[in-house]
Structures are given as structure tokens and as C-alpha cells.
Structure 1
Amino acid sequence: MTATASTSPDSSPSAASPARSPSPYTGTAVDAQGLTRAGFEGSTAINRKDFGITYNAVLETGGVMISDKITLEFDLSAVKTA
């Protein structure tokens, strides 16, 4: 599984770098409509600043409100067509 993350020095989406994640196969089943589905799941981490999201606020304890590292988790279902 490959997702494309846009990165460049000015935070504009011009150059692309892939964020890779293994997509373990979780199984195949027939759903209520009789369609065959295959399941996959995975996760990957990205840096939110790579997408131009730079907002943050300093907390009273000295830390920051939002981490630069964002973890994306996903469950995918592929449906077999006739």
C-alpha cells in the first residue's frame, strides 16, 4: 500500500514522497448482498508540517498542544465485481 505525501520547502504540494505501510490481509467473506469482500488494515505515520499544517499552541506546562507526528489508521474492504 502506498500513499503519496506532498512535501516541499514552502509546504506547497509540488514534490511527492511516498508514505508506505504494510497492508496485512485480514480475510475474505461474502456479505449479506452476496458480494465477495477482501479486508486489509494498516497504519502509517506522517509529519503534519509536510502538508502545511503548522498551527500549534504552547501549553502552560511548556509542551505543545498538537504533535507533529500524526498516525493514520485504516481498514479497507475491496469488493469483487462480476
Structure 2
Amino acid sequence: MKFLKLSLASLVASSALFAGTYNVDASHSNVGFKVKHLMISNVNGKFDTFSGNFEYDEKTKTLKSLVGEAKVASINTEDAKRDAHLKSADFFDEANHPTLTFKLDKIDGDFAYGKLSIRGITKDVKLNFENNGEAIDPWGNKRVALELTGKINRKDFGLNWNKALEAGGVLVDETVKLNIEVEGILAK
């Protein structure tokens, strides 16, 4: 029994040697989304200010944890009037809910499960997960790139504003497509 405990402790310790904490490099990452407008075209947007970190096991090539947040004030759809409306109480209500957050629960195959919080409402989400690999940059820093994509229903998070169209349908679709591309740099 003692040998088994020592073996398990050794295994845990050796796997910790290969795990690293990575900080999100915002200049090489993107927190983006798109949503249908008038039921025919897409409006693309992103958050310009975001941060996060993740733990990655280099030996097993496994994402162990990930947390991130985006500032609502930094929403950018390339239209200042629309961005102001999105920050208002009709949508994100930046005055009362200045950040969006995501916390990974687990990776299972090609899927990431976690908790997404928008407008003070937290929901379990399932996103597509892709490990885009590792590289050493020209300055000797180890980097890892990850991608999370998927769909959420904005009404699940209290983003309910809309306008009905005369010909049927609505101005803004309920489904929002997420595209989160993260490049992390190993913390020193």
C-alpha cells in the first residue's frame, strides 16, 4: 500500500513538472462573435480588451484550466452608434455588468465545457475546442494556441432587445456565433 501511495505521488509530481501556466497574449488573440442582421447578413464584432490565463500540460498536450474575461466597454462592431447601443441596458448593460467571463470546467475530446457569465447571468456552455499547437517564438518564449467556437442564445443571458420586421422575422437573431482564438505565452 505504501508503494502504491508513493507511486501515485510520484506520478502526480512528475505530471506537474510538464504543466505550465500561460497568460493570454491579447495582441495575438481574438474574442469575436457574429450575429444575423435582418435575418440575411452577419454583423461581426469583437472585444478589444480582454485577459486570461490557462494551464496546459505540455507532456499530454492537454488543457487543464482556462479563465478569461472581456470588458464590455471595448465592444467593437465598427459602428460607434451600434456599439453604444450594445453597451446600454438594452443589451450588455455595461454600467451594471462591465465584464463577461468564461471559466473552463473540462475538455472532453473536441469539446470544451465551461461557465459563461454575461450580464450577471451564468450558464453552462459547450463549445468546440481545437488545440492549434505549440511553438517557440524568436525570443525563446514558449507559446500555445487554442480555439473555442460555438453558438449561444443571447436571450439565455438577458440580451432580449429586438424589433419585429414588417415582412416577418426580427432585426437581430437570437443565435450568436462565438469565435475565440487564444495564443498564450508561458509565464516566467
Q: Which amino acid aligns with 1:61?
A: A
Given candidates 139, 147, 151, the residue that maps to 1:33 is 139
Structure 1, unmatched stretches of 5+, are none
Q: Contact 1:42 / 1:74 at 8 angstroms: preserved in 2?
A: yes
Matched residue, 1:23: 129
Provide the C-alpha distance between the structure 2 equivalents of 1:12 and 1:73, rounded to a whole number of angstroms: 21
Q: Contact 1:24 / 1:40 at 8 angstroms: preserved in 2?
A: yes
Q: Contact 1:5 / 1:50 at 8 angstroms: preserved in 2?
A: no
Matched residue, 2:115: 4
Q: Which amino acid aligns with 1:30?
A: I
Which protein has greater RCO, CA pairs closer than 8 Å, 6+ apart? 1
Q: Contact 1:3 / 1:19 at 8 angstroms: preserved in 2?
A: yes
More helix by share: 2
Structure 2, unmatched stretches of 5+, are 1-111
State the TM-score, normalized to the length of structure 1.
0.74
Q: CA-to-partner distance for each residue in 1:43-78, whole Å, 9 max, x for gaps?
A: 121111111111111123211011111111111112
Matched residue of 1:32: which SS? Answer: coil
1:66 and 2:177 matched: no
Distance 1:36 1:72, change over 3 A: same
Deviation at 1:22? 3.2
Given candidates 21, 44, 47, the residue that maps to 2:153 is 47
Corresponding residue pairs, total = 77
More strand by share: 2
1:76 and 2:182 matched: yes
Deviation at 1:12? 6.0
Provide the C-alpha distance between the structure 2 equivalents of 1:38 and 1:62, rounded to a whole number of angstroms: 46
